[in-house]
A and B are shown apart, each in its own frame.
Chain A
């Protein structure tokens, strides 16, 4: 019975599409393209304003609990005028690894010319991050930093984690969204 209902629903959709003439269909496709471009522009704009290559990140681990939990969303800035100081929460990448880490700065040593090396530690970890760095690497540098956490919103990032862990879920969401935009009369 479920299969029959699904078949009937999809037929309904197709009828709607057939009723639209070609011009309306092209219009819908353009609309869709506009939405995607606007989203991209907003994202790029955020990158420029914050100075960070990834202005919004999702917390993936529990190493900063109880402040941040898996699924929390962090807003980052990475302006050069803001120097790195202890106590700040930084998002950094270790050379050769793709996944960025969100931890707090524990120590900094900065030279006269602005060269800085620093050490990090997760609030919920017992030891500092030296064990996580590359073999032979004892400090992080400015180039490893993706951004500094300036604000956050809890829970919302869970959607991204779900989409990563269950790719079928991601495809289903994208498919439904695309379908909705294409078919919706307005």
Chain B
């Protein structure tokens, strides 16, 4: 089920972060669970200075349900060391971690926001968490999928 295609870019003061295209395919296998596929092209530059040892990137989904006012689930993460290729072009990625809800709050949930963030790990010093600008909203359908189709 292709749900959403969005296109946006976001510059930050310390880096150029470009989010190019975003495909989301969501399959709800049972009341709580869903698999999310996505296509993203990320470009991280000039964050890596002499004191940055690595970036811990993670894609998180944030949403609200009847049971819980705020839910945040990390769907995918990656460690990027200084010296690694700063351009990420990821196509058709499956989520790394199961997107379980605490309850049945995903069905018919119109507003799941996916954002990319990263934890800057320095050689020594402060550990900031930075959220990339730009995000994508994903709605989930009202019905469950009964067949496995991922």
Contacts and interface: CB of A to CB of B under 8 A. Distances in A.
Please classify how large the interface on chain A is, using the bins under 10, 10 to 19, 20 to 34, 35 or more: 20 to 34
Given A67-B53, A152-B124, A87 B117 contact: yes
Given A66-B54, A123-B56, A110 B117 contact: no
B127 interface: yes
A181 to B, nearest CB: 30
Interface stretch (A6-14, A100-108, A170-178): A100-108
Chain B residues touching A, majority SS: strand
B20 interface: no
Interface in B48-76: 53-54, 56, 58, 60, 67-74
Interface in A112-165: 112, 117, 123, 128, 149-154
A116 B38 CA distance: 29
A87 B70 contact: no
A85 B68 contact: no
Nearest to A156: B124
Contacts of A109: 67-68, 70-71, 102
- Give the 8 A-B CB pairs with smallest separation, nearest first: A110-B70, A109-B102, A112-B69, A86-B72, A109-B68, A67-B121, A151-B126, A108-B72
Interface of B: 53-54, 56, 58, 60, 67-74, 79, 81, 97, 100, 102, 117, 119, 121-127, 129
